Structure 1
Amino acid sequence: MKLGDKIKQLRNDAELTQPELAEKAQIEQSYLSKLENEKGTPSFAVIEKIANAFDLTGMALIESLDISYVQEQLTHIPEIAVQAAEKSRLEEEKIKKWYLQGVLLIVFGIALYFIGTRGIFISKNLYEYSSAGFIEVGEPLERYKTSLIGIINENDEELDLRIKENRKRLNEVQLKESFYRGDSFVESYGEKRRYFELTKEKFYSSIYPKSNDVIALLGIMSFISGWFLMFFIYRFTRK
C-alpha cells in the first residue's frame, strides 16, 4: 500500500474529513490532499505528525506500507533510509539462514542415504565368534590353544586327563559382531582373557532391510525437503 492510500484509509476508518485530519496533524489541508493523491513529497516530520494523529509513530506508519514502495519512493528521507537499510539487512540475514537450513537438510539427507545404503550403523552382515573357555592368568596363548583346543598326538588316557584338567575353565561363549574383527582375537574378562575364533562367515541380517531402508528413505526425504526449501526461498525472494 502507498502512503497516500494508507493515510486515506486511516482517515476514513477514523471517520475524519481532510480538514479535520489536517487540523489534528497541524498541516495544511491542501498539502494533505496532495499527499493522499501521491502528488507531494513529505518530510519525516510531516509523516510523524500524521501518524500521531492516529496514535501511531512515524515508523509504524511507514512499516505498514509496501516494502517496494518505501524503497522506491521514500528512501530519500534520511530517517526512512536508515530504517529501510536495517530492515533490508535483517531480511537478508533471515534469507541466508533459510538457505543454510536448506543446505543442511540436503547434506544431512545425503549422509543419511549413504549411511542407510552402506549399512554403516546397522551392518548388513553379522560375524559369529566362539570362545571355548578362559585363558588362565599368565598363560601364554599358544599353550592355551594346545591344552584346550589344540589337536595333539595323545592316547585316550591322556585325552581324558587333559579334559579333566581343563574342565573348570571350559565355558563356551559366542559373540555376534556387526563388524569383522579378524579370524581370531583375544578379549579381556577381568583378570582373565578369552580367545575367540570366527566360527561362521558373515551372514545376512534380517534386521538390515527394514532399519537401513528407513534410514535411506529419511535421507531422500531430507534431501528433497532441502531442495524445495531453497527453491521456494529463491522463488519468493528474488526481485
Structure 2
Amino acid sequence: MKFGDYLRKCREAISLTQPEAAKKIEIEQSYLSKLETGKSYPSDDIYKRLVDAYKINTQELYELVDSAELEKLKTVREVQDAILRQEKQQVKHVRSWLVAGLALLILGGASLGHALIPSEQAVLYLYRSQAELLPDEPLETFSILNKDYQERPEWADRIARQKALLPRVHQLEHTSYQDRGNSFVKKTLNGRRFYEKVSAKEVNRYTGHKWFLIPAIGFLFGALGCFYISRKWRY
C-alpha cells in the first residue's frame, strides 16, 4: 500500500473531508492532497500532527505500507524507530531459526553416521542342538544318532535306542559372535539343551543401527525447514 493511500483511509475512517482534516492538522489542503497522492512526504513535525489527528499506529503503518514507501519516510523519527525495532526482531527470529536448524543438522548427521557405521570383520560361530534333554539324561544321549549301525544282532539294542530317540529330535541352531567353546548347555522349560559347535566362519559384521535412519531423515528435513523459514524471515 502507498503511504498516501494509507493516509486517505485513515482520514476517511474518522469521517473527515480534506479541508476539515487540513484545518485540524493545521496545514494547507493542497499540501494534504500532495501527501495523499504521493507527491510529497511529511516531515517529522507534520507526521506527529498526522498521528495526533488520525490516531495513526506507526507499527500498523509499518506492516501495511510498502517497503519502498517506508524508505521515503525514514526522515520521520517515529517511522525510523519502528523500522529499527522490526529489523532487530527480524534478526532475532532469523538467528533463532538458524540455531534450531543447526542443532537439527547436527542431530541428523550424528544419527545418519550411527546408522551407516561400516561393517567389520568378525567370526560367526554356529552351534546346533539335536533335541531337548530330560533332567536325568547325559549330555551325549543324542550323539548315538550320528552313528550308522548296520542291521547286525550285536547292535540291535543300539538301533532300538536310535529308533526310540528319533521322534524326539527337534534341531535348534544358535549363532553367536562370541566363541562359547566346543559346546555349552542351555536350560529349557522341561530340561536342557546341549549345543555343539558346528562351524566358525569369517563374516562382515554390520555394527550400525538401521533404525537410526528414521530420526536422521526427520532431523535433516527439520533442519532444511528451519533454514527455509529463516530465509523467508530474512527477505
TM-score, with structure 2 as normaliser: 0.53
Give a deviation string over 1:145-193, Cα, whole Å, max 9, x none: xxxxxxxxxxxxxxxxxxxxxxxxxxxxxxxxxxx9xx9xxxxxxxxxx
In structure 2, what residue type is equivalent to 1:112?
S
Quick one: distance in 2 between partners of 1:102 and 1:113?
16
SS of equivalent to 1:75: coil
Identity between Structure 1 and Structure 2 (%): 25
Aligned-pair CA distance for 1:23: 2.4
Q: Residue 237 in 1 paired to residue 234 in 2?
A: yes
In structure 2, what residue type is equivalent to 1:51?
V
Aligned-pair CA distance for 1:70: 4.7
Q: Show structure 2 runs of 5+ residues with no match.
A: 118-177, 181-196, 201-206
Q: How does 1:1-239 map to 2 (within 5 A)?
A: 1-57=1-57, 59-60=58-59, 62-66=61-65, 68-118=67-117, 212-234=209-231, 237-238=234-235
In structure 1, what residue type is equivalent to 2:51?
A
Aligned-pair CA distance for 1:33: 0.5
Quick one: distance in 2 between partners of 1:97 and 1:79?
27
For these two proteins, the number of residue pairs brought into alignment is: 154
Q: Show structure 1 runs of 5+ residues with no match.
A: 119-179, 184-199, 202-207
TM-score, with structure 1 as normaliser: 0.53
Quick one: distance in 2 between partners of 1:64 and 1:22?
25
SS of equivalent to 2:42: coil
Contact kept, 8 Å, 2:93 with 2:230, in 1: the verdict is no
Q: Pairwise CA RMSD of aligned residues?
A: 3.5
Q: Which moved further from structure 2: 65-74 or 101-110? A: 65-74
Give a deviation string over 1:98-146, Cα, whole Å, max 9, x none: 112111111111222334455xxxxxxxxxxxxxxxxxxxxxxxxxxxx
SS of equivalent to 1:96: helix
In structure 2, what residue type is equivalent to 1:230?
F
Quick one: distance in 2 between partners of 1:229 and 1:19?
51
